[in-house]
Amino acid sequence: MPRKRPTSSLFSPARGKSAIPVRVGASPRSDTRLPKTNHSSNNHSRGPSEISISTSNSPKFDRTFDDRLDDYTLDFDKLSNLQSDVDDDRDTGFLSDLKSSREDKTLSDVGGPDDFTANMDKYLFGEVGPIGKHSAVDKDEENGKVTANNTQEHSSSKPSQDQPAAGDEAELGEYSEFGPPIDMSTPSHLLRRDGVLAKGEARLEEIEEDPTDSMGKAASQSFKRRNSAFGNARVDETDDDLRRQIADLQQALKDRDEQLELSRQQASSSAEQIRQLRVELRNKSTLLEELRSRNSEEILLREQIQFLQKQCDEKESILQKSTLGVSEVNSLREQIADVQKHIQEMQKQLETQHGDIQKQLQSQRTLSNSDAESSEVAASLRQQLSSTQDLLKKRDGILEETVAKLKEVTAAKEQQLQEKNSDIDDLKAQIEDQLLDIERLETDIEQANTDYRDLEKRILTLENKHRPLEERNMSLEAEMAAQQNALKAVAADLPIQTGGNTYAEILDLIKDLWQSDPSHTTQLHPTETELRQSRQDLVQLKVELEEANSTKSAADAELARFKEQASETQALIDTVERENSRLTTRVDELNSSLEKLQLEHAEAMNKLKHLQEEKRSTQQQPSPPPSPPQQTTQIAAVLEESHRAQLRSLENAHATTISELRASHADVTHRLQDRLIAAEKRGSVLETQLEALRSSATAQEAQLQALNEEIKRLESVIAVKDEAAAAVDQRIAWSVEKREKEWQRRVDLLLRDRDRMGKALMVSWAEKESGETKMNKLGEGKDADGLYYRYKYAQKHDMKKA
């Protein structure tokens, strides 16, 4: 919306004592004037009721005045000088032409624009000149078309306008207060001025043309008008002018050739720089090929890492199997514990049997029965000893088998641990090598980035250097074309007698001769070829830069992948080390349990030896009765059955635990794989979201920069408009205050005039009624108080009193 400000506060009636409005717009009464000669006679013919001034006490006048002032609004965007202050970069000539055409269209029939904004524009920023009659007389004097009567009127009116303010006060007393004063009846901004035409003419004069062209045109017109009068002398003058013009054109062509030579040298220097850049780009391409080869090496390293990952998977499977072996060892330990319990029970039974045997021996010693019974008891005891020896042998065999199995398991575990330690060392070495390669690649990429930035900077500098050269070439070509067109126009306007050829044909011949000159062609063509070659080189450089960007992005992606793989291998190494430490602790525990078993076996062997010695000692004694052997055989059978049942239960428990462990391991692996897949998917989604956020962030930053620039521009425009509005307000306030003072002065003069006229009327009426003059009254001594009039009844009343 354009900024509009009501001016009713500036033109309010309260600012002055009178209610006479300031006429700003065009009105039919604005050009009315009163004649000077008949003014006094008209005043004498009026009555006292006609001599009055319209004051602000009339409500009807106040209402119409306020209603009219409400329609007067000012649009700052349509003011010409404000638009020129805001848009300094625009073409002033074109805007002045538009302004002149707009002013011609908006002028009303009375002599001013209908719009209040255009009216104020003309008043504030236009040329404040004299009144209409004076300007018209000046225009007629400038054009040389003024008659003798007009010159006399101008000479008579000019001194009257140059009089001082005291003369104006004297003249204002001769006019009526009902019409506008003479210098306010027609405002200066409503009069037609020659400013618009002068602006248009100035714009036409600003066109750059050769001064000899105008001379040639004038010469051609005079040659056409006076061909019959002057003849051959005029032809010689035009020939001289044409030769002069041709010399000037040749000098201009030489200047253009020098400028083209300079541009060609600059183009050659830019071409050399482009060649250097091409060499640098070739070096960069070799570096990129090396990077690609390194990428192939990285691919091989990746394959090696995959192979190592497979090996790690195999090691993990072996570790899982080792965990199964550990479960077997635990089952064997449980079996050994059960065997130890059975051995302890057998030892208890043997001790009980040994006590029984000793009791029987004591009873035999005390009773000393027959020798046959003693032999039978000895035989039964021998049988019991042999059965116990068999059981002990079986237990020894079982213990030896378990010890052998434990030794094999421990040896396998130690071998696996050694292999895993060696694999871990290899993996650490490979990871260190990969880290070194990654660091080397990072340094290479940083160097490539720095080289890429340097190339971009150089290309920008070359483009910045190349642009003014292209602009200069374009301007030179445009100037050449304009000069050729101007020469053709001059040749068309000036046909001369040159053997049937026109001047345009002569110019074409000169042009052909100039183009047929081999030195000129050798000067022009290399520049064009070098410019084209430089453009092609720039295009190739841009393509190569795009390829370098793509390879850089691919190398960055591969670097990120290598870093991820290195982190994964480091995590695997950490897991393997943790498993290795756990297995070493387990092996230590197994070794300690083995030592304990060996100690228990040694104790059992000692006990067996002690029992054998006791058996030998008992063989020398008489045998007990035959009843105990049956009990020992039954006990041995029960022990064997219980041992077999325990073995079966242990085997079943071992199988169930193995199956449960396998199922739980499979579930754990499946869960881990699912989590890994979900994590990879989530990572890809997050990467895409991150890229989208980065792109949106860059776009938003660009939009913010554009918006900030637009805000700054608008703030500058608003500041300029505010300054212009303040200046316009100050100008309007100053003009209104000046007009109010002028109106106040004129109202005071009119009031004084009214008082004088009233006094004069009173005197004239007194003379008519009394028939005496004031001088007579003063001479007679009457009315010495200065009264001009007394009624007849007052005189009669005085006479009656007398």
pLDDT bucket at 26, cuts 50 / 70 / 90: very low
Same domain (yes/no): 202, 294: no
Cβ pair 410, 583 in contact under 8 A = no
pLDDT, mean of residues 299-312: 73
Same domain (yes/no): 259, 141: no
Tell me whether residue 418 is in a domain.
yes
Residue 563 makes CB contacts below 8 A (sequence gap 6+) with 438
Q: Which of 123-137, 362-376, 451-465, 647-661 has the highest mean pLDDT?
A: 451-465
- The C-alpha atoms of residue 360 and residue 379 are separated, in whole angstroms, by 13
Same domain (yes/no): 419, 469: yes
Q: What is the pLDDT of residue 248?
A: 85
pLDDT bucket at 629, cuts 50 / 70 / 90: very low
Instruction: State how far Cα 188 lies from the chain centre.
Output: 53
pLDDT bucket at 744, cuts 50 / 70 / 90: very high
The single-letter DSSP state of residue 231 is T
Q: DSSP letter string over 631-646?
A: HHHHHHHHHHHHHHHH
- The C-alpha atoms of residue 499 and residue 516 are separated, in whole angstroms, by 23
pLDDT(697) > 60: yes
pLDDT tens digit sequence for 452-481: 788 778 778 777 877 777 787 787 778 777
Residue 453 makes CB contacts below 8 A (sequence gap 6+) with none
Strand, helix or coil at 107? strand
Same domain (yes/no): 129, 73: yes
Please list the alpha-helical segments (H only) found in 126-226: 132-143, 148-161, 165-172, 182-185, 195-205, 211-225
Same domain (yes/no): 197, 323: no
Q: What are 649's two structure tokens? A: 């239960």
Q: What is the pLDDT of residue 754?
A: 93
pLDDT, mean of residues 161-171: 42
Q: What is the pLDDT of residue 784?
A: 42
The mean-pLDDT minimum among 355-359, 408-412, 767-771 falls in 355-359
Q: What is the pLDDT of residue 751?
A: 95
pLDDT(677) > 80: yes
Phi-psi region of 46 (alpha: psi -120 to 50; beta: other; left: phi over 0): beta
- The C-alpha atoms of residue 435 and residue 707 are separated, in whole angstroms, by 46
Question: Cα torsion at 76, 79, 80, 81 (round to 10°)?
Answer: -60
Phi-psi region of 53 (alpha: psi -120 to 50; beta: other; left: phi over 0): beta
Which tops the pLDDT comparison, 687 or 525? 687
The mean-pLDDT minimum among 29-43, 237-251, 361-375, 512-526 falls in 29-43
Angle at 253 between CA 247 and CA 254, to 5 degrees: 90
Q: What is the pLDDT of residue 228?
A: 54
- The C-alpha atoms of residue 655 and residue 168 are separated, in whole angstroms, by 135
- The C-alpha atoms of residue 404 and residue 336 are separated, in whole angstroms, by 13
Count CA atoms within 13 Å of residue 745 on its CB side. Answer: 13
Q: What is the pLDDT of residue 560?
A: 78
pLDDT(25) > 50: no
Q: What is the pLDDT of residue 633?
A: 61
Element (H, E) at 1: none
- Residue linked to tokens 């994590």: 679
pLDDT tens digit sequence for 306-337: 777 677 677 667 666 655 555 665 666 676 67
- The C-alpha atoms of residue 614 and residue 621 are separated, in whole angstroms, by 11
Cβ pair 551, 452 in contact under 8 A = no
The mean-pLDDT minimum among 32-46, 409-423, 660-674 falls in 32-46
Same domain (yes/no): 541, 447: yes
pLDDT(737) > 80: yes
pLDDT bucket at 552, cuts 50 / 70 / 90: confident
The mean-pLDDT minimum among 68-77, 399-408, 467-476 falls in 68-77
Element (H, E) at 147: none
Tell me whether residue 601 is in a domain.
yes
Same domain (yes/no): 295, 357: yes
pLDDT, mean of residues 349-367: 64
Which tops the pLDDT comparison, 430 or 492? 430
In angstroms, what CA-CA distances link 381 with 374, 400, 408, 603, 614? Answer: 10, 28, 40, 24, 11
Q: Where are the beta strands (DSSP E) in 637-751?
A: none
Tell me whether residue 660 is in a domain.
no
What amino acid occupies position 101? S
pLDDT(97) > 50: no
Which tops the pLDDT comparison, 593 or 64? 593
The mean-pLDDT minimum among 48-52, 285-289, 312-316 falls in 48-52
Which tops the pLDDT comparison, 769 or 225? 769
Tell me whether residue 683 is in a domain.
no
Same domain (yes/no): 197, 264: no
* Residue that is last in its domain, among 191, 207, 223: 207
pLDDT(143) > 60: no
Cβ pair 494, 220 in contact under 8 A = yes
Q: What is the pLDDT of residue 485?
A: 74
CB environment 356-372: b (16+ within 10 A), e (fewer): ebeebbeebeeeeeeee
Exposed (0-12), middle (13-18) or buried (19+): which is 281, by Cβ within 10 Å?
A: buried
Same domain (yes/no): 477, 569: yes
Which has the closest alpha carbon to 47: 578, 783, 669, 764?
A: 764
Count CA atoms within 13 Å of residue 770 on its CB side. Answer: 22
Tell me whether residue 264 is in a domain.
yes
- The C-alpha atoms of residue 629 and residue 627 are separated, in whole angstroms, by 6
Domain holding 412, by residue range, is 244-626
Q: Is the pTM of this model over 0.85?
A: no
Same domain (yes/no): 133, 251: no
Report the percentage of the chain scoring pLDDT > 90.
Answer: 3
* Residue that is last in its domain, among 626, 656, 676: 626
Q: How many domains does the chain have?
A: 3
Q: What is the pLDDT of residue 727?
A: 86
Same domain (yes/no): 442, 347: yes
Q: What is the pLDDT of residue 316?
A: 67
pLDDT, mean of residues 376-394: 72
- The C-alpha atoms of residue 298 and residue 266 are separated, in whole angstroms, by 46
As a whole number, the mean pLDDT across the chain is: 65
Angle at 56 between CA 54 and CA 60, to 5 degrees: 85
Cβ pair 653, 331 in contact under 8 A = yes
pLDDT tens digit sequence for 105-127: 444 444 445 566 777 777 666 64
Q: What is the pLDDT of residue 136?
A: 40
pLDDT bucket at 79, cuts 50 / 70 / 90: low
Cα-atom radius of gyration of the chain, to the nearest Å?
64
What amino acid occupies position 570? Q
pLDDT tens digit sequence for 172-229: 444 444 444 444 444 555 544 444 444 443 343 344 444 444 444 444 555 455 555 5
Q: What is the pLDDT of residue 294?
A: 74
- The C-alpha atoms of residue 599 and residue 403 are separated, in whole angstroms, by 12
The mean-pLDDT minimum among 401-405, 431-435, 639-643 falls in 639-643
Tell me whether residue 466 is in a domain.
yes
pLDDT, mean of residues 250-265: 82
Q: What is the pLDDT of residue 73?
A: 62
CB environment 453-472: b (16+ within 10 A), e (fewer): eebeebbeebeeebeebeee
Task: Identify any residues that bridge with 12 across adjacent strands, giving them in sequence order.
Answer: none
Tell me whether residue 309 is in a domain.
yes
Q: DSSP letter string over 412-473?
A: HHHHHHHHHHHHHHHHHHHHHHHHHHHHHHHHHHHHHHHHHHHHHHHHHHHHHHHHHHHHHH
Which tops the pLDDT comparison, 728 or 359? 728
Which tops the pLDDT comparison, 660 or 103? 660
Same domain (yes/no): 527, 587: yes
Tell me whether residue 755 is in a domain.
no
The single-letter DSSP state of residue 144 is T
